[in-house]
Structures are given as C-alpha cells and as structure tokens.
Chains A and B, each alone.
Chain A
C-alpha cells in the first residue's frame, strides 16, 4: 500500500519522489541545494530552481532513498496519475521525530549556513515566536534574501569562513 504522504515533483525531464517514512533528517538535500529542497517552503521542492543535472546529483546523495528520481519517459501509469495528488504535504520539517527531549543539534557548515535539528524555537528581537519547526538553516553569509534563513546565496557571493 502506497503511503498517502508520499509526493512527487516534476520538471520537463525528471520526477523526484518524496517518501517521508524513509527520511532520517540527514539534511543532505537542503544543505546542498536549498534552492530546490527547502523545508521552510510549501511545496518544499521547487523543480525549477536548479538544472536537472544538479537535482539528480543531490537526489542521489540522499542516504535513505527518501528522495529518488526517474526520467519522465520511464514513469509508470500509476506514477503519472499520482502527480495530480492534492492532499496536505508533509516535508522534512513537519515530520515528527523522537519524542525524547534531546539538545538541539547545531552544525556550522563549511562556508555555509547554520543547520539546526531537534527541539528548539526561534524568536525575534522582541521575543515573538517565529514559525515552529524541527529543522532549519540560518544564513551566516549576510547575503540571504530570506533572512534570517539561508536561501543558498552564500554560494553565489563566494562566502568563505576564512575571510
């Protein structure tokens, strides 16, 4: 039985399949290509934001096959029909995690963003809570157009930890 939370996203050439049940929050997809795989956005996958080649490269790095891809010409009848599904989307950010309270894991990516996973909240200067999530990445280069979150611009501006 197909998991009703599964989704697929397509461009002219390929379709990416998202299977939330297989996601272990490795965060590889959005650390490498947040323009396409952005858990803070709905829908969270934007197939128009990078080349097909780049999407294939990053999709292939998913350690659990939570995201996999196929050429559109190879899709089965069922897969072609499934692309019209409209029910509520689950993404890596809204998936439930281990109920046990653990320290939030914060990773400073080389020449990249601050990636946060686990139990945490985000507030603004005045103490107002921003949207709740279990995973996010904060801009560290100063160049994001989606402050305070990373939008991948560190690569365009050549952000370097050593400068």
Chain B
C-alpha cells in the first residue's frame, strides 16, 4: 500500500501542520515523530520546541 505523501500546511499566523508520510528528526538525527498530524512552532516563542504550544496567540506573530 502506498502511503499518502507528506503534506505541510502553513497555517496563517499560527503553526505548521505536518501530516501524511514523514519522519521528523532532531539535529542529532534522533527520530522525534513519524505520525501526524503534528504542529510545529513557526513563531519562535513555544516553550515546547519544536512543537507549537499556542504561544503565538496574542504575540502579534504574522506569517
């Protein structure tokens, strides 16, 4: 069975949603996650990086 290819949804002024077939590694090459959907921080403010924790709210982050 062919898995659905990975999809990155750029949610305006919020996070990056990752779904489909993917593997996320840290800089050391350790596997963090391979099942979605997951939400990655785009604003730089999360206290749970690389994942979103909602800190973009009320921060004025745009992008």
Q: A-side interface residues toward B, CB under 8 Å? A: 101-110, 114, 116, 118-125, 127, 130, 138-144, 147-148, 159, 161
A-B contact number at CB 8 A: 108
The interface residues of chain B, by DSSP majority, are classed as loop
List of A residues within 8 angstroms of B62 by Cβ: 147
User: Do residues A107 and B25 form an inter-chain contact, with CB atoms below 8 A?
Assistant: yes
Contact bitstring B32-58, A, C-beta under 8 A = 1, else 0 = 101000001111110001100000000
Residues of B at the A interface (CB closer than 8 Å) are: 2-3, 5-12, 16, 18, 20-27, 32, 34, 40-45, 49-50, 61-63
Q: Is the CB of A125 within 8 A of B44?
A: no
Q: Which of A103, A107, A144 contacts B63 (CB 8 A)?
A: A144
Contacting pair A103 B23 (CB below 8 A): yes
Would you give 25 A-B contacts (Cβ < 8 Å), ordered by A? A102-B21, A103-B21, A104-B21, A104-B23, A106-B22, A106-B23, A106-B24, A107-B26, A108-B25, A114-B16, A116-B8, A119-B5, A119-B6, A119-B21, A121-B7, A123-B7, A138-B16, A139-B42, A139-B63, A140-B42, A140-B50, A147-B63, A148-B16, A148-B63, A161-B49
A114 to B15, CA, bound (A): 12
A103 touches which one: B11, B34, B42 (CB < 8 A)? B34
Q: Apart from A110-B27, A120-B7, A130-B10, what are 13 other A-B pairs with CB-CB below 8 Å?
A: A103-B22, A103-B23, A105-B22, A105-B23, A108-B26, A116-B6, A119-B6, A121-B6, A122-B8, A127-B9, A140-B42, A147-B62, A148-B42
**B45:A142 contact, CB within 8 angstroms:** yes
Q: 8 shortest A-B CB distances, which residue pairs?
A: A104-B6, A147-B63, A142-B44, A120-B6, A110-B27, A142-B43, A106-B24, A141-B44
> Chain A contact residues: over half helix, strand or loop, or mixed?
loop
Given the interface pairs A142-B42, A148-B63, the reply to whether A103 lies near B6 with Cβ below 8 Å is yes
